[in-house]
Structure 1
Amino acid sequence: MKKIYVFLLFSLWICELQAQNKYWIVFKDKHPAFTSNLTNPFLSTKLLFTDIPVDKPYIDSLQNKGITPIVISKWLNAVSAFLDERQVKQAQQFSFVQELVPINRNLIISSAPGADFKPEYYSTVLSQIGAEAFVLKNLSGKGVKVGVIDVGFYGVTANKSLRHLITGNKIADIKDFVNPQKRDHFTDLETNSDYHGNEVLQMIAGFEPEKKLQYGLATNATFYLARTDHGTRETRSEEDNWIAAMEHMDSLGVRLINTSLGYALGFTDSKENYKPVEMDGKTSMISRATQIATEEKGMLIIVSAGNEGDDPNWKIVSTPADAEAVLSVGSTKAKSKDKISYSSIGPEFLSYLKPNVTCFSPSGTSFSAPVITGFAACLMEAAPELTNKQLKHIIEKSGHLYPYGNNYVGYGVPNAAKALQLLKDSTLTLNKITTIRQKGTVFNLAMENDKVERAVVFHKKNQHFVLKQELLGVTKGKLSFKRHSEETKTTIDLGNEIIEVFWEE
Structure 2
Amino acid sequence: MKRFFLILVLNLFALQVFCQMPKYWIVLKDKETKNYDYKKHLSQRAIEKRQLMKIDLVQYSDIPLTEDYLNKMAEKGVEAVNQSKWLNAISAEITDEQKNWLLKQDFVKEVIPIQRRVTALANYNGYVEDDERPENASYSTAISQMEAQLMKKEGLTGEGIVIGVIDAGYYGLTKNRNLKHLLKDERILGTRDFVDPSREDLFNNMVTYSDDHGNTVVEHIAGIRSKGPQYGFAIDASFYLTRSEKGDTETRAEEDYWISAMEWLDSLGVRIINTSLGYAIGFDDPKQNYKLKEMDGNTAVITKAAQIATEEKGLLLVVSAGNEGNDSNWQIVSAPADAKGVLSVGAVGPTGLKAGYSSIGPDFLPYLKPNVSCFSLMGTSFSAPVITGFAACLLQSKPEATGEEIKEIIEMSGSLYPNGNNFLGYGVPKASKALKILEGKKLEAAINKRMATGKDEYTVKASEKDVEEAIVFHKQKQHYVTQQELVKGTKGKFKVVKPAGVTESTFVCGDEVLEIIW
Are residues 1:74 and 2:91 paired? no
Are residues 1:253 and 2:269 paired? yes
What is the deviation of 1:286? Answer: 0.6
| Cα distance change on mapping 1:114 and 1:16 into 2, 3 Å | closer
**Deviation by residue 1:122-141 (Cα, 9 ceiling, x = unmatched):** 21112111111011112110
Contact 2:27/2:109 (8 A) holds in 1: yes
Q: In the alignment, residue 348 of structure 1 is paired with which amino acid? A: D
Contact 2:62/2:86 (8 A) holds in 1: yes
Where does the alignment leave 5 or more consecutive residues of structure 2 unmatched? 1-7, 39-54
Contact 1:104/1:266 (8 A) holds in 2: no
Q: Secondary structure at the match of 2:110?
A: strand
Of 45, 54, 59, the residue aligned with 2:70 is 59
Partner of 2:475: 460
Q: Secondary structure at the match of 1:473?
A: strand
Partner of 2:120: 109
Q: In the alignment, residue 31 of structure 2 is paired with which amino acid? A: K
Are residues 1:168 and 2:185 paired? yes
What is the deviation of 1:103? Answer: 1.3
Q: In the alignment, residue 436 of structure 1 is paired with which amino acid? A: R
Counterparts of 2:477 and 2:13, CA distance in 1: 56
What is the deviation of 1:270? Answer: 4.2
Of 275, 294, 301, the residue aligned with 1:278 is 294
Root-mean-square deviation over aligned CA pairs = 2.4
What is the deviation of 1:108? Answer: 1.9
What is the deviation of 1:121? Answer: 2.8
Partner of 2:34: 33
Counterparts of 1:12 and 1:128, CA distance in 2: 47
Counterparts of 1:15 and 1:286, CA distance in 2: 26
**Deviation by residue 1:217-265 (Cα, 9 ceiling, x = unmatched):** 1111110110011113554231100000000011100110000000112
What is the deviation of 1:442? Answer: 2.1
What is the deviation of 1:283? Answer: 0.4
Are residues 1:23 and 2:32 paired? no
Partner of 1:141: 158
Of 149, 156, 177, the residue aligned with 2:173 is 156
| Cα distance change on mapping 1:225 and 1:447 into 2, 3 Å | closer
Partner of 1:313: 329
Contact 2:250/2:284 (8 A) holds in 1: no
Q: Secondary structure at the match of 2:181?
A: helix
Contact 1:457/1:470 (8 A) holds in 2: yes
Counterparts of 2:17 and 2:438, CA distance in 1: 57
**Deviation by residue 1:326-385 (Cα, 9 ceiling, x = unmatched):** 000000013x31101000000010000000000000000000000000000011111112
Q: Secondary structure at the match of 2:373?
A: strand
Are residues 1:331 and 2:350 paired? no
TM-score when normalising by structure 2:
0.89
Counterparts of 1:433 and 1:25, CA distance in 2: 48
**Deviation by residue 1:82-102 (Cα, 9 ceiling, x = unmatched):** 122222222222221111111
Of 435, 442, 452, the residue aligned with 2:449 is 435
Partner of 1:189: 206
Partner of 2:48: none
Are residues 1:83 and 2:100 paired? no
Partner of 2:401: 386
TM-score when normalising by structure 1:
0.91
Q: In the alignment, residue 170 of structure 1 is paired with which amino acid? A: R
What is the deviation of 1:12? Answer: 12
Contact 1:432/1:497 (8 A) holds in 2: no
Counterparts of 1:255 and 1:356, CA distance in 2: 19
Contact 2:234/2:392 (8 A) holds in 1: yes
**Deviation by residue 1:284-337 (Cα, 9 ceiling, x = unmatched):** 111101111111000000000010000011100000011010000000013x31
Contact 2:418/2:447 (8 A) holds in 1: no
Counterparts of 1:108 and 1:395, CA distance in 2: 26
What is the deviation of 1:432? Answer: 8.5
Q: In the alignment, residue 437 of structure 1 is paired with which amino acid? A: M
Q: Secondary structure at the match of 2:314?
A: coil
Partner of 1:497: 512
Counterparts of 1:12 and 1:318, CA distance in 2: 29
What is the deviation of 1:19? Answer: 4.2
| Cα distance change on mapping 1:56 and 1:406 into 2, 3 Å | same
Q: In the alignment, residue 141 of structure 2 is paired with which amino acid? A: T
Counterparts of 1:123 and 1:51, CA distance in 2: 40
Partner of 1:40: none
Counterparts of 1:304 and 1:158, CA distance in 2: 26
Counterparts of 2:457 and 2:230, CA distance in 1: 45
Contact 1:20/1:85 (8 A) holds in 2: no
Contact 1:116/1:363 (8 A) holds in 2: no
Partner of 1:95: 106
Where does the alignment leave 5 or more consecutive residues of structure 1 unmatched? 1-6, 38-43
The percent of aligned pairs where both chains have the same amino acid is: 48
Partner of 1:401: 416
Counterparts of 2:345 and 2:17, CA distance in 1: 40
| Cα distance change on mapping 1:11 and 1:358 into 2, 3 Å | closer
**Deviation by residue 1:63-87 (Cα, 9 ceiling, x = unmatched):** 1111110111110000001122222
| Cα distance change on mapping 1:79 and 1:445 into 2, 3 Å | same
| Cα distance change on mapping 1:417 and 1:269 into 2, 3 Å | same
Partner of 1:265: 281
| Cα distance change on mapping 1:448 and 1:214 into 2, 3 Å | closer
Counterparts of 1:56 and 1:236, CA distance in 2: 27
Are residues 1:225 and 2:226 paired? no
Counterparts of 1:452 and 1:45, CA distance in 2: 52
Q: In the alignment, residue 358 of structure 1 is paired with which amino acid? A: S
Aligned residue pairs total 486
Of 304, 307, 310, the residue aligned with 2:320 is 304
Counterparts of 2:326 and 2:303, CA distance in 1: 24
Counterparts of 2:431 and 2:272, CA distance in 1: 18
What is the deviation of 1:485? Answer: 3.2
Counterparts of 1:439 and 1:272, CA distance in 2: 47
